[in-house]
Structure 1
Amino acid sequence: MAAKATSPAVELDVGERTVRISNPDRVYFPDHGWTKLDLARYYLSVGDGIVRALRERPCMMHRFPEGLAGDKVHQKRVPHGAPAWLETVRVTFPRYHRTADELCVTELGAVIWAVQMSTVEFHPWNSRRADTEAPDEWRIDLDPMPACDFATVRRVAHIAREVLDELGATGFPKTSGGSGLHVYVRIVPEWGFADVRRAALAFAREVERRSAGDATTTWWRRDRAEDAVFVDYNQNARDHTIASAYSVRGVPDGTVSTPITWDEVDDVEPRELTLATVPSRYAARGDLHAAIDDTAYRLEQLLEWADRDERAGETAPDVDE
């Protein structure tokens, strides 16, 4: 069998680092011809935004060593041979009695190193390395069922904002890079994953009550309405991750999980936000999540709602069900 032709490596200057990109012409997105180097240049173009989204969080890498035409690898552990300057954070997985030293981004060079390692998607925890067991990010995941149109997702997003406003919490929306929307809220890191998940479920149930059937918190997928939006509170469970802001998704069109304003919810077309189009948007508008760390919300009100719901018999399903 003939050896595959390889293109000469290139070196990218990334702040204080020089990162070598091997096989820069390897096509990662066959439908568009976008290459590994195109992917690296995309992440350079949104540098401050992607670093802000990942900063000091344990981060799982979704790697495509042969591009999207090959297999995807979910990699938690930073491999041996990583540069000495690359930072990691050790996390534990009690169920399996294991630990992993995961990527911990503190600078853009680490993102570009991960691209060199064939990473397309970045999936950070919602806690930081100072205390990985105390989340500082509450994630509202509006996940449409197969027969649900995006107009319904838009309506549910507005209801979510209405409830957030009543709580006095600031939500930062973004496209998921797929068919849904995410909203992130910074929280004071004084609660564990179980309480954050309880709070997220209480919020989701309030959205459901106001949605006239557009939203659901029904746990079992087979029992959900096919045209509803699942408000996926379980994305706040320990070691559950979703693609970060500015993460490219490993899908043929190279869509990006892109920060938007609330005013854009009614007009945004998520499939138009790709690694080819987001750089110019970012250059013109900057990071729309730049203020996300300015304020942090406390969970007492939501936990009171959770207590109320549980007294009424609305218990949360077990994470592992």
Structure 2
Amino acid sequence: MASTAIVLTVPGPHGDREVRLSSPERVLWEEPGITKQELAEYLIEVAPAFLTANGDRPVSLQRFPGGVDGEWFFSKNPPKGAPAYVRAVDVVYPSGRQHPQLVLDEAAAVVWAAQMNTVVFHPWPSRAADPDRPDELRIDLDPQPGTDFADAFRVAASLRELLTEVGLTGFVKTSGNRGVHVFAPIEPEHEFLDVRHAVIAAARELERRDPSRVTTSWWKEERGERIFVDYNQANRDRTMAGAYSPRALAAATVSCPVTWDELPEVDPGAFTVRTVPERLRSVGDPWAGMHDHPGRIDVLLQWWERDLEQGLGELPFPPDFPKMPGEPPRVQPSRAKLPEE
């Protein structure tokens, strides 16, 4: 049986584009019955806010050829046959290898990504013109077993206060699952390692102020029932689901920006591919204007230096990274060899 296809008319800065969508009836999310066509139509509806948050950045596409319950893989490099309106920029990966990475600039490019079975969009925290210097400080608050979204938003509120102290403005969104993401616009003055150190400094200070709720422990066995501040998401080529990106979860939830005022009452499961367009129409985009007044990470870097002087050094990097200067052993504490007597 021949595969079906439709053509979607997608408005954009250069006029309408016609984007072919094959197998539009393919169900991507079984539980709500959301199809590939419905995903593409969602992306067209939210495109202005989606592109404000995620456009003009290197992006990794998380693709699910058989739906969200099936196998998936990441696409970073532009595939053969990509349309001319899908561009790429050379980026450097942690290994030192340099390669072109996709950049999405208009709605048609986002719909093309959906045609390629993309469900989750993972943008870099830096712009395509300067991919080595982030213009966003991003902090991922990850609830550990025994904690939940309510615990995460309480920590997020404390984090907001801390960021304000150091001259940064925090913007918040749901992760699309149980966590909370806090972003702060920054001047693109520092390389990834410096921004990572700024995030670690903020995380350590947050942990000092609320050790019963917050942990910076990389090893799960040491985290307890606390919110883990995942500082490793600040590394080069480490990304999280972008604002308004769907998630590959059963209910088709979306990583959705919210206001700080509404955060305590938020039900993250209420933000889905089917509900977020109406939310944008009715309340607008809480992240509009995020980058109008970027801050600086100078104070956080001073905190990092202070902690170094007090004996707090580098923290573990992800396992696929090369060994980094000053990094402690990547050995789970319970498996570390005890020193001989």
Q: Deviations over 1:10-36 (max 9, x none)?
A: 333332221111111110001111000
Say how many residue pairs are matched.
316
Contact 2:91/2:132 (8 A) holds in 1 = no
Name the structure 2 match of 1:168: 167
Is 1:107 equivalent to 2:125 in the alignment? no
Q: Deviations over 1:274-297 (max 9, x none)?
A: 101111101111211111110111
After TM superposition, give the deviation of residue 69 of structure 1 in Å: 3.3
Name the structure 2 match of 1:51: 51
Name the structure 1 match of 2:119: 120
Of 4, 23, 26, the match for 1:7: 4
Name the structure 2 match of 1:308: 306
Contact 2:138/2:234 (8 A) holds in 1 = yes
Q: Measure the CA separation in 2 of the matches of 1:89 and 1:155.
A: 38
Q: Measure the CA separation in 1 of the matches of 2:184 and 2:107.
A: 23
Name the structure 1 match of 2:321: none
**Between the two proteins, what is the percent identity of the paired residues?**
46
Name the structure 1 match of 2:67: 67
Name the structure 1 match of 2:42: 42
Q: Measure the CA separation in 1 of the matches of 2:86 and 2:153.
A: 39
SS in 1 for 2:51: helix
Task: Return the TM-score normalized by structure 1.
Answer: 0.95
Name the structure 1 match of 2:157: 158
Is 1:220 equivalent to 2:224 in the alignment? no
After TM superposition, give the deviation of residue 150 of structure 1 in Å: 2.3
Contact 1:141/1:233 (8 A) holds in 2 = yes
After TM superposition, give the deviation of residue 248 of structure 1 in Å: 0.2
Task: Return the TM-score normalized by structure 2.
Answer: 0.89
After TM superposition, give the deviation of residue 7 of structure 1 in Å: 3.0
Q: Measure the CA separation in 2 of the matches of 1:110 and 1:217.
A: 37
Q: Measure the CA separation in 1 of the matches of 2:5 and 2:52.
A: 32
After TM superposition, give the deviation of residue 41 of structure 1 in Å: 0.9
Q: Measure the CA separation in 1 of the matches of 2:242 and 2:69.
A: 23
SS in 2 for 1:222: helix
Q: Measure the CA separation in 2 of the matches of 1:18 and 1:217.
A: 48
SS in 2 for 1:276: coil
Q: Measure the CA separation in 2 of the matches of 1:125 and 1:164.
A: 21
Q: Which amino acid aligns with 1:10?
A: V
SS in 2 for 1:83: coil
Q: Measure the CA separation in 1 of the matches of 2:241 and 2:40.
A: 17
Contact 2:170/2:183 (8 A) holds in 1 = yes
Name the structure 2 match of 1:290: 288
Q: Deviations over 1:299-319 (max 9, x none)?
A: 110001001111111112142
Q: Which amino acid aligns with 1:291?
A: G
Contact 1:12/1:21 (8 A) holds in 2 = no
Name the structure 2 match of 1:77: 77
After TM superposition, give the deviation of residue 101 of structure 1 in Å: 2.1
Q: Measure the CA separation in 2 of the matches of 1:6 and 1:109.
A: 22
Is 1:145 equivalent to 2:140 in the alignment? no
Contact 2:68/2:249 (8 A) holds in 1 = yes
Name the structure 1 match of 2:30: 30
Q: RMSD of aligned C-alpha atoms?
A: 1.4
Q: Which sections of structure 2, spanning at least 5 residues, go unmatched?
A: 319-329, 331-341
Contact 2:94/2:237 (8 A) holds in 1 = no
Of 232, 235, 255, the match for 1:234: 232
Change (3 A) 1:157 1:94: closer
Q: Which amino acid aligns with 2:227?
A: V
After TM superposition, give the deviation of residue 94 of structure 1 in Å: 5.3
After TM superposition, give the deviation of residue 8 of structure 1 in Å: 3.4
Q: Which sections of structure 1, spanning at least 5 residues, go unmatched?
A: none
Q: Deviations over 1:20-69 (max 9, x none)?
A: 11111110001111000100111111111110111211100000112123
